[in-house]
Chains A and B, each alone.
Chain A
């Protein structure tokens, strides 16, 4: 099946630093989504991307849909303690598909 690989697997950063993570696939996705998951909770949608090359922001978060449609990155600027969690990319292969394929996740830890 489809595989989405995220890097890095985990990050330890100081409060105030910028964060960058990415997601790559061996095949094309038509939609890329970024979710955040906090302990004991379900994933929460952060950003959705629909067109190759699209760059979208949501507050301190910025994400881009790669030109090849096989990758996406998420940046978080000026990190704060509540940014702690696991960030997952997810892709939808075809517009008619129901399922999302999730990435392996990037665990973000903020060092005070």
Chain B
């Protein structure tokens, strides 16, 4: 079964450092998403990406965040200057069509900011 692959599985970074979280969506999917989940809380939408541009973003996705699809297979989330409150699981997801049919999520990257 096709998978969404995320790397690394766990990243520890110092406050103020830049991090890049990487994702390889399912190859024929066209819509890409990032979500985050703070420990013990619900999954929250960050951003959706289609046709090489952001199609929707949440209030959480401020100027510190950016996304990129640098080539035909990777989809990245960059946090420019990490804060302690950015510590969370970050999930990448992809779908062939819009959210209507649900997404396929990756296993996540646990980001710990110290």
Residue numbers of A with Cβ under 8 A of B are 1, 31, 33, 35, 37, 40-45, 48, 50, 88, 90, 92, 95-105
Docked-complex contact A92 and B43, CB < 8 angstroms: no
One of B12-20, B70-78, B79-87, B95-103 at the interface: B95-103
Residue contact B106 to A42, C-beta cutoff 8 Å: yes
- Evaluate whether A98 and B44 lie within 8 angstroms (CB atoms) in the complex, with A31-B100, A42-B106, A43-B105 already known: no
Q: Cβ of B55 and Cβ of A98 under 8 Å apart?
A: yes
A92–B42 CB distance below 8 A: no
A-B contact pairs, 7 of them (CB 8 A): A1-B59, A44-B105, A45-B102, A100-B45, A100-B103, A102-B44, A102-B45
> Which residues of the other chain, A, contact B100 by a CB distance below 8 angstroms?
31, 50, 92, 95
Interface size class of B (residues with CB under 8 A): 20 to 34
Given known A42-B108, A97-B56, A99-B56, contact A48–B101 (CB-CB < 8 A):
yes
- A43 CA to B33 CA, complexed, in Å: 13
Task: Provide the residues of chain B in CB contact with A102, threshold 8 Å.
Answer: 42-45
B107 at the interface (CB under 8 A from A): yes
Contacts of B101 on A, CB cut-off 8 Å?
Answer: 48
